[in-house]
Amino acid sequence: MAQNNAPPVSLETPRSIVARPVGNETVLTLIGSGDHSRGPWPFVTGISGLNADMAGPPAQYLSVAAWAA
């Protein structure tokens, strides 16, 4: 695998969401609030593997969970 020259995950603008792969099939996502008194809020999602452990729920479940809330 090539060397990882990517910049670190950061929130460059307020009210933005940034998602990056962080190894294997895991994704780190940050929600910025645009307000220093709130957030930011991180989520880790993992990708379904037939036998693999998962770091977090599949990304689609995060959206459905938000729908429930």
Partner 1 sequence: MVTVVGVAYRGGIPLEDIEVDFEVEPVEGPGSLGFGVREKVTLKGNISEGDRVRLQRASRYCPVGQALTKGSMVIEDEVQWRSGEITALSAAPANLPVLEGAVPVIQPGTVHGSYLLDTKEYDDDGVMQHEGEAKVYITTRNLTHTSRWTVMAGHSSAGLIPPPFPSTHAGWAASTVATLSRLLPLGEEQDVRELQVEVGLNMSGGRELSQGSAAEGRIVHRNAVRRVIVPGNPRSVPIETVQAALGRDPITLAYTEGGILLDEQVVVG
Query: What does the binding site for partner 1 look like in residue numbers (CB under 8 A)?
Result: 1-6, 9, 12-13, 15-23, 25, 27, 29, 31, 33, 35, 37-39, 41, 43, 45, 47-51, 53-54, 56-69
Tell the smallest beta-carbon distance from residue 24 to partner 1 (Å). 10
Please state whether the peptide bond connecting residue 40 to the residue before it is cis, i.e. omega within 30 degrees of 0.
Answer: yes
At position 23, the amino acid (one-letter code) is G
Q: Provide the minimum distance between the beta carbon of 38 and partner 1 in the complex, in angstroms, as a whole number.
A: 3
CA-CA distance, 1 to 12, in Å (whole number)? 27
Cβ-Cβ contacts under 8 Å for 57 (sequence gap 6 or more)? 45, 46, 65
Q: Taking the complex as a whole, how short is the minimal distance between the CB of residue 29 and partner 1, in angstroms?
A: 5
